[in-house]
Amino acid sequence: MKSPIPALDKRNLYRFPWSLNDNPQGWVEVTDLCNLKCRGCYRQRLEGHKSFEAIKEEIQFLKKWRNVDNISLAGGEPILHPQIVDIVAYIAGQKLKPFMLGNGVAHNRQILIELRKAGLVGVGLHVDMHQNRPGWENKNELDLCALREQLADMVWEVGGISCNFNSTIYRDSLKYVPDLVKWAIRNSRKVQGYTFMTYRGALLDGSREYLVQGRNVHLDNESLGYALQQETREEISIMSTDVYAAIKAAVPEYAPSVYLGGTRKHTSFKWLDGVILCCNAKPLGSLGKKGMEFTQTAHHLIFGSYLIYLKKKSAGRIILLLSLVDAGVRAAFVRYIRNPLNIFRTVHSVGIGIVQAPDAQDGDVDMCESCPDITVFEGRLVNSCRLDEYRKFGDALTPSLTKGLGQAIVFAEVQAGTTDPVMAK
Ligand code: SF4
């Protein structure tokens, strides 16, 4: 008989110590142009490529106000920016780690070599089955592992750049998550991280109205990429805990060590991160709460900022030293030394992230506490997942329940227990 999935308890997890003014990640969107059109994309095409001068200003702003350790280049598809190599070199010249998100369509060996020479430390590649990707239409997440393999091989051959993947998780792709984690473990020599983002969107079923500074705004399929008429409440309500449960059931060695809570709900796990230690393409165990706390604190003490991405591809066997302070690493260490052949093998770590983006409440939105993906918009800091609300309406939208109908739906949701399936009580 399978053992039950352990319930998550925030007391057994470390809370990322990040804040608005002391946060390792700076988020810079260099373009809103893209060569794909993913379902529910957060970004619309309004302005095209940002000027290099404007990008430099944003980087300086984030450096000054966020105490960042890295700059994540996002968009749109950042690799399409004609000065992407200069932008990466500029970031590296500021003694920050340049990291680039993207979808892999325009990635090739030549540009990656140039980016690595300019100082790029890693890429985060978004691949999933709702991207209408030319040549990969109607493929499921398992089929797409062939593409992930090609991309991981390309990054590996270029060398010196960490390779991370991310996928938006929809109702029909949730069942594939365990296989994606197993795929990452099998490829742990080449793949350093995998992040799952549960699909979120603004519901347009009449149960909510949307206000900007008290003014009612009409939303339809054209107004925001994530306001889609056809989406249902069920489609946009996958919880981080659902993803956790799916992975844990299939990979018992996996355990999250750290979380970010919500800005409104004390029960939320908006970010739920873990690090699986692997050897010979098999999982040994997971970094625990103490190891994560030690790493964040030591990095801040030594380098003056918190940590989100390593400069090297992997910490290697040195991570086993954390067994001095961490029970999870100790258990992994014991499994490692049980096999004498492991003395010839290194240890690879694969970060597993789960992100549950905005959850609409009545009159408010539960966001990620100490959001790491905050970006600069007209001299202020805003959540990048809601940037288009600022760009199109001048401010963030406030959802409020339409009287009667909305209340009835929320009541039914709570009765059905669909709000937090695996949450610690
Ligand atoms: S609140 Fe911040 S961290 Fe959370 S999904 Fe939005 S941008 Fe990302």
321-343: pLDDT as tens digits: 999 999 999 999 999 999 999 99
Chain mean position to CA 186: 21
The DSSP 8-state label assigned to residue 406 in this structure reads H
Q: What is the average pLDDT score of the chain?
A: 92
Cα 408 to Cα 269: distance, rounded to the nearest angstrom: 25
Element of type H or E holding 98: strand 97-102
Q: Ligand 1, residues 354, 383, 389, 397: which to mutate, most atoms within 8 A of Cβ?
A: 383
User: What per-residue confidence (pLDDT) applies to 408?
Assistant: 45
Q: Does any ligand 1 atom lie closer than 6 A to the CB of residue 308?
A: no
Element of type H or E holding 333: helix 327-338
User: Ligand 1 centre and the CA of 338: distance in Å?
Assistant: 41
Cα 175 to Cα 187: distance, rounded to the nearest angstrom: 20
Q: Are 336 and 279 in contact (CB under 8 A)?
A: yes
* Mean pLDDT (whole number) for 380-406: 88
Task: Say yes or no to pLDDT of 403 above 60.
Answer: yes
Chain mean position to CA 263: 18
User: Ligand 1 centre and the CA of 6: distance in Å?
Assistant: 26
Q: Are 149 and 336 in contact (CB under 8 A)?
A: no
Q: What is the pLDDT of residues 17-59, one digit of tens each?
A: 999 999 999 999 999 999 999 999 999 999 999 999 999 999 9
User: Ligand 1 centre and the CA of 386: distance in Å?
Assistant: 8
Q: What is the pLDDT of residues 244-288, one digit of tens each?
A: 999 999 999 999 999 999 999 999 999 999 999 999 999 999 999
Q: Ligand 1, residues 273, 371, 374, 390: which to mutate, most atoms within 8 A of Cβ?
A: 371
Q: Does any ligand 1 atom lie closer than 6 A to the CB of residue 357?
A: yes
Q: Which residue has tokens 């202020």?
A: 380
Task: Describe the crossing of helices 145-158 and 177-186 by its angle, rounded to 10 degrees.
Answer: 30
Question: Number of helices (H) and strands (E), helices first, in the chain?
Answer: 10, 18
Q: Which residue has tokens 């030394």?
A: 337
Q: Are 16 and 366 in contact (CB under 8 A)?
A: no
Q: Does any ligand 1 atom lie closer than 6 A to the CB of residue 367?
A: yes
Q: Are 234 and 201 in contact (CB under 8 A)?
A: no
Q: What is the pLDDT of residues 125-173, one digit of tens each?
A: 999 999 999 999 999 999 999 999 999 999 999 999 999 999 999 999 9
Q: Kindly report the length of the chain.
A: 425
Q: pLDDT over 90 for what percent of the chain?
A: 82
Cα three-residue angle 411-227-173, rounded to 5 degrees: 80
Q: Does any ligand 1 atom lie closer than 6 A to the CB of residue 371?
A: yes
User: What per-residue confidence (pLDDT) applies to 138?
Assistant: 93
Q: Ligand 1, residues 365, 373, 397: which to mutate, most atoms within 8 A of Cβ?
A: 373
User: Ligand 1 centre and the CA of 355: distance in Å?
Assistant: 8
Cα 236 to Cα 120: distance, rounded to the nearest angstrom: 34
Nearest-atom number in ligand 1 for the CA of 355 is 5
Q: pLDDT over 70 for what percent of the chain?
A: 94
User: Which residues face 162 on adjacent strands?
Assistant: 122
Least confident of 24-33, 78-87, 96-105, 406-415: 406-415
Q: Does any ligand 1 atom lie closer than 6 A to the CB of residue 353?
A: no
Cα 359 to Cα 111: distance, rounded to the nearest angstrom: 38
Beta strands at 271-279 and 256-260: parallel, antiparallel or unpaired:
antiparallel
End-to-end CA separation in angstroms for the chain: 24
State the pLDDT confidence band at 230, using cuts at 50, 70 and 90.
confident
Q: Which of 116, 129, 211 is nearest to 157 (CA)?
A: 116
Q: Which of 328, 325, 322, 340 is nearest to 254 (CA)?
A: 328
Q: What is the pLDDT of residues 172-214, one digit of tens each?
A: 999 999 999 999 999 999 999 999 999 998 888 888 899 998 8
Q: Is 423 helix (H, G, I), strand (E, B) or coil?
A: strand
Cα 119 to Cα 145: distance, rounded to the nearest angstrom: 28
* Mean pLDDT (whole number) for 398-421: 54
Q: Are 268 and 243 in contact (CB under 8 A)?
A: no
This prediction has a pTM of 0.93
Show Cβ contacts of residue 310 under 8 Å, excluding neighbours closer than 6 positions: 121, 162, 192
Nearest-atom number in ligand 1 for the CA of 384 is 7
Cα→Cα distances 383→42, 47, 191, 209, 371, Å:
11, 18, 28, 21, 7
